[in-house]
Every structure is written in C-alpha cells, then in structure tokens.
Amino acid sequence: MELSYLDGLARGAAGALLLLLAVFFTRDSRYSQTARLGAPLCLAGIAYLTMLAVPPCAAWRWWQIPVHLVSLAGPGLFWLFVESWFDDEFVVRPRFLVAIAASMLVGISGGVGIQLQMNWIAFHLFSLIFIVLGLWAALRGRNGDLIESRRRIRLMLAVEIGLIVFLIMVSEIPNTGTGTWPPPIWLRLFNAVSLLAVALTVTTLTLGWRDTALLSPPARAPIAPDRADAPDDAPLLTALEHLMRYERLYRQDGLTITAVAARLGVPEYRLRRAINQGSGARNFNAFLNAYRLEEVEQALRDAEQREVPILTIALDSGFGSLAPFNRAFRLAKGMTPTEFRQAHL
C-alpha cells in the first residue's frame, strides 16, 4: 500500500472528525468560552490538513493565503483552548490575540531566502511556546480541580495532544526554507496521523463520554447528584462548613484539598464530589475564595475599618497576594475593592 494512499486516508478521517467537533463546539458556543475557542481550533486543523493536500502544480494560488493563515493560528488557539478548558476564570485578553496574530504574520512571511527562513523558524519557536503554555495550563491546578472527569483527562491531554503537536512542529523545522511544496510524503503522513490521533482524543473526551461538565460554564447553583445511590454527603458538608465558617480554615496559607480531606478524615475524591455537588464550585480555589471574599466584603463595609489598607484585609482573609485578590474580587463584584468600599461607606 502506497504512503500517499495512507496519507489521504488519514487526512480524510482527521478532517471529518475535526469538522464534527467544529459543529459540536459551534452548537455550544453560546454559553461556553471553551466551545467558542474549540470551533476555530478545529478549523485551523482542517486548514492545515488542506495545505498538506495541495499538489505541487497548485502551489500558492490566491485561495491558499487565507487557508494558510488560518492553519498558522492553530498552536495559539490550542493554548487558549486548554486555558479555557481547565481554568474557569480564564478570560481571553487582547494581548493574547495580538501574540497569536504576530506569530501568524511571521509564519506567512516565511519562505525561501535567509531572512524568510528565519521568519519561518521564528514562527515555529512561537508555536513551541504556545504548546508549552498549553501543557502548563493542563497540569496547573490539577489537584484543585473539583470536576473529577476533567481532572482525570488533564494528564492525558497534556501528554498525548501536547506531545503530538510538539512533534509536528519539530518535524517541520528541518524542512523550512526549501521552497518546495508539499512537504515530503513521510512528513505529510506523520502529521496527518498525528492530527488524527488528536482529533480522536478530543472527540472521545467531548462526545464519547457525554460529560456536560467538561465544557459547561461554571455552575451558579448546587448540582444534584448524578446517581440515586450516591452516599449522603450532608454530614460531610456540615463539617466542612464548620471548618470554613467558624474555624476560618480558608485563611490558612497554601491550603490544599488534600489537607482539608485529611482534616475531615475522608478520601479526596469524596470531598471533591461533595463540594462540587453541594456548592456548584468547579475549582477548590474558587470555593475558598467565596469565603475569603465574604470576609473582605464585610470588612470593606465596616466603617471602623475605613483606614485599614485593602491589601491588609486581603492578606488577613487568606489571599496570597494583591493581584489574584483584585482579579477574584472584580470577577465576583464587577468593580474594584476601592470602588466597592467607596460605594458602601
């Protein structure tokens, strides 16, 4: 069996799966930022597969320029997609989009010639940085993730998808600046099979498991248990509430769900489920921040603490530094702590 036949077969299968995912993400894009990023990421993958299929006689016709540009956005979109998937408080900043746009412009200018070859290599360096950021996003905060299904897939996503995309980028570097298109058949086959593996993984995670918690937005109300025979977590939640409300355990620096589970004498998985289903929280830090922000709000409303610096109040409430406190407060209240204090005093 010829390699070109296998290449076409792999590209066709990968493209079909990516198109299916794009439709799935588009359907859910109204309420999920992750889905809004997943749809263009799938289109970038389809564009890359299309560029690999271009025959030499049709190289660099006018219609290839927009397709090529979309394909160049893939690594950056992968980073944003993973950040959004695993960080419920993640917000796409304009500077992120500027960085991705810059990498696309550098990549589209790559070609024959020393300077153009350097641009193409620079694009791959950009891409590797985006991939590393995506891997870090998948692993960062894994211990505090309260969505058990999402927590389990973090490592698999980081190892499989991140490694595959990394290998695709590395495999193309020795062939940059040659002026030939398409790439050698072995490289096209490798990349097509790699993208097929990525598409199969994401399709299995988002469609095969049928777990709505993987892509749904943060819950605003307690979640009902999935099974009727699930153990009653009311006593556990009562004990947890006592630790937080009366002993103010949330003030402890570097508090982890492992430490809280040990304090309560229960397995971690049970405590994760109890918090998630009892409060709707999807992340342990967000669960702690709810108590911290409640204490901060009371202090900012107190006229007797008018002269107490906001930083002191934040640190006393358990926040480690000012930046995460300001971000959490603005997200919860829609204003800065200073504005909140002025409005209520």
User: Is residue 181 a contact partner of residue 59, using CB atoms and an 8 Å limit?
Assistant: yes
Residues 6+ apart with CB under 8 A from 65: 108
Per-position DSSP letters for 152-182, written without gaps between them: HHHHHIIIIIHHHHHHHHHHHGGGTTS--SS
- Region 300-313: what's the mean pLDDT? 90
Compute the distance between CA of residue 74 and CA of residue 195 in angstroms, rounded to an integer: 12
Predicted confidence at residue 324, as pLDDT, reads: 86
Nearest CA-CA partner of 11 in 46, 40, 58, 44: 46
Confidence grade of residue 198 (pLDDT, cut at 50, 70, 90): confident
- Region 41-48: what's the mean pLDDT? 90
Predicted confidence at residue 126, as pLDDT, reads: 86
Tell me: pLDDT of 159 over 80: no
Which residue ranges form the domains of the chain, and what is each CATH number? 3-214 (1.20.1070.10), 234-344 (1.10.10.60)
3 state SS for 263-317 = HHCCCHHHHHHHHHHHHCCCEHHHHHHHHHHHHHHHHHHCHHHCCCCHHHHHHHC
Predicted confidence at residue 113, as pLDDT, reads: 45
Q: Lowest-confidence range among 27-36, 152-161, 331-340?
A: 152-161
* Coil, helix or strand at residue 209: coil
* Coil, helix or strand at residue 145: strand
Rounded to the nearest integer, the mean pLDDT of the chain is 80
Predicted confidence at residue 181, as pLDDT, reads: 54
- Region 184-195: what's the mean pLDDT? 78
Look up the pTM and report it.
0.77
Tell me: pLDDT of 25 over 50: yes
Tell me: pLDDT of 230 over 90: no
User: Is residue 43 a contact partner of residue 195, using CB atoms and an 8 Å limit?
Assistant: no
Compute the distance between CA of residue 177 and CA of residue 173 in angstroms, rounded to an integer: 9
Work out whether the CA dihedral 264, 266, 267, 268 comes out positive or negative.
Answer: negative
- Region 155-167: what's the mean pLDDT? 71
Place of tokens 């709707």: 280
* Coil, helix or strand at residue 43: helix
Tell me: pLDDT of 292 over 90: yes
Residues 6+ apart with CB under 8 A from 24: 35, 206, 207
